[in-house]
Amino acid sequence: MKTIESALADLKDIIDTNAEWLDLPVVKGRNIRIKNIIVRPGRDGYTIVDIIESKIIEKTFTKVAALAVARAYLNGSPYGQIISYDRSIEKHYNDCIFYKHSLNNATTEDKIGLYECRIALAEDKIEKARTILEEYVMDGS
């Protein structure tokens, strides 16, 4: 009878040897590897690198967009729309930061209401774009 530790070691060996032909993400440290693509986090977002061709494919603001770009690249699909959604998330995220700062410094009820409305709209747009990217990562469509 095997122990849990030996079963986990066997499972790790199976995954490591078969990860080349599977389209499964493997996390090693801070990096995520999908076949020959590595997604690396950095100060300014995520970098997607093709290790066979030794080239940077794209840089993204969010992890979900990085995974979507990696999946599209592996499938040979265009990923311009994914980058567009990622830039939208980045823009609305920065808007939220600005509006929250402005809300903290607002002096009138009108300005407070205005900034609260703008924050809600920006957060809604972030959530919509993020949902679309998550659907692409999960479904590939």
What pLDDT tens digit does each residue of the chain (141 aa) get? 578 888 888 877 777 776 556 677 888 899 999 989 999 999 999 999 999 999 999 999 999 999 999 999 998 999 999 999 999 999 999 999 999 999 999 999 999 999 999 999 999 999 999 999 999 998 865
pLDDT of residue 9: 85
Residue type, 62: T
Contact partners, residue 78, CB within 8 Å, separation at least 6: 72
Cα distances (angstroms) measured from residue 124 to each of 24, 45, 72, 100, 104: 30, 21, 25, 15, 20
Backbone angles phi, psi at 32, to 5 degrees: -120, 125
**What are the sequence ranges of the domains in the chain?**
23-139
